[in-house]
Amino acid sequence: MKENDRILALRKAAEAMARGDFSLDIPIGNDEIGHLGKSLKELSVYLKKQSERSQLLYRIMVECNLNLHVIDVLNHIYESFREHLPYDRISLAFLENSNTKLKLHWVRAEYDPLAINAGQSIALADDSLQALLNNNEIQMISDLSEYLEWHTHSKFAQTIIKEGIRACVICPLVANGKSIGFIFFSSRKKINYDRSHKDLLLQIASQLSVVIEKTQLYRGAKLNKQLIAQKKSLQQRVTHDALTGLLNRSAIFDILHKQIMRAKRGGYGVAVIMIDIDYFKSINDTYGHMAGDAVLGEIAERLTKSARVHEYIGRYGGEEFLAIISPYDQASATKVAERFRQAIADEPIQADQSSIPVTISIGVSAGATEATLDADLLLRHADEALYAAKRKGRNRVEIAGDLNP
């Protein structure tokens, strides 16, 4: 690869990373450009992991805000964080009898039998648990055998080690300003827990405490019309972009992943349409940022009006939008993309007493097989098709080539 091509590849990779896309190939080598590529690749791995964690925490936040069922949220946590936290078992225990006893409310593990299960109680005689209760801090035990050597009277440690547990993290839960219990993450391997584990666990415990607090507030009460309206309003704020009213980045990504799962089960295709406003920077520079915001809002409205049922549109970031369409093949997705393009190009946008001609460029990719129904692959090919539309003069639709990875 020529030097200029390598530099262009690095620039495109950096731009993609800024949009949250970590799928582009990054060229590496032994010269200065190659070393830069290595550094950029390491940064990409780190940012992708952080992005994945943020997505998972976002989904917990949505669950907590829209769901008053603690067990549903716990199951979501158990199924979602395996790549980011080491655990074979998660359990939730509430304080009872004036904080003298812990009763297990929920347990889920990858193995049987369990030495302590839901419904059983643990006396809070352990000094370590009492200390956690007093200062509300996470305790991370990387080696339970070593821990028992120093805490020989800990019945809690003695009990869970019988299950084969060798490491655990104990996270206090606080609701209404009071300690209400703990969530335990346990592993059958010795684990060197670090700061990244602690930060993530703190955020999980915080979100879980929110739903427990809500459950306590609304327990025994029927959700009346006012509460339902509040939930809908909250859902709108959590899942929609404030400026355009479209689905936000996290929400449209969530829909993409769900549609891919459904397509794999049903044997049909998913299309991804990436949309970018042509010369948007010039619009901001010429007419001002308020006019630019008005253009974004009007484009969002036109795209929404021209969309059909099951054509989901979200704001990808900046002046870019993303549409997810399923079930669709490439040919029918191209017709949808052309419908979107015409909805914008047919009439100038009125903003700040100005009539602004606006066009969009569109890239389309579609997948229908196990190999091609992959979110990163579909997004990458749609992005490449969008770049092609820009290079060929803008205000056009371009179709991605072969999606085979």
pLDDT at 187 over 60: yes
Cα dihedral: 250, 251, 252, 257 (round 10): 90
At 339-349, the pLDDT tens digits run: 999 999 999 99
Beta bridge partners of 313: 323
User: Given a cut of 90, is residue 380 above it in pLDDT?
Assistant: yes
- Selected residue with higher pLDDT from 131 and 324: 324
Token pair, residue 380, equals: 């990458």
The predicted pLDDT at position 48 comes to 72
Domain 240-399: state its class: alpha beta
Q: Which residues pair with 351 in a beta bridge?
A: 354
Instruction: Please report, for residues 153, 157, 237, the alpha-carbon distance to residue 233 in angstroms, rounded to integers and kept in the order given.
Output: 51, 45, 6
Neighbour tally for 113: CB within 10 Å = 7
CATH 1.10.1040.50 matches 72-217: no
CA distances to 19, 93, 151, 207, 281 from 181, rounded to whole Å, are 39, 5, 21, 14, 52
pLDDT class for 127, splitting at 50, 70, 90? low
What kind of architecture, by CATH, is found in domain 3-66? Orthogonal Bundle (1.10)
What pLDDT sits at residue 289?
A: 87
Q: Which amino acid, one-letter code, is at 313?
A: I
Beta carbons of 25 and 202 less than 8 angstroms apart: no
Q: Can you give the pTM of this predicted structure?
A: 0.48
* 12's tokens: 């495109």
Torsion of CA 330, 331, 336, 342, to 10 degrees: 120
Predicted local distance difference test score (pLDDT) of residue 195:
77
Give the Cβ contact number of residue 381 at 10 Å. Answer: 26
Q: What is the mean pLDDT of residues 263-271?
A: 88
Contact 333, 375 (CB under 8 A): no
Cis peptide before 327 (omega within 30 of 0): yes
Domain positions in the chain are: 3-66, 72-217, 240-399
Tokens of 184: 């335990």
Asked whether the beta carbons of 298 and 277 are under 8 A apart, the reply is no
Does residue 207 have a pLDDT over 80?
A: no
Residue 219 confidence (pLDDT) above 60: no
d(CA 272, CA 383): 10
Nearest one of 371, 372, 347, 375 to 359, comparing CA atoms: 347
pLDDT exceeds cutoff 50 at 164? yes
Q: Tell me whether the CATH fold assigned to 3-66 matches the one assigned to 240-399.
A: no
User: In the block, which residue shows the tokens 């009213």?
Assistant: 245
pLDDT reading at 140 higher than 60: yes
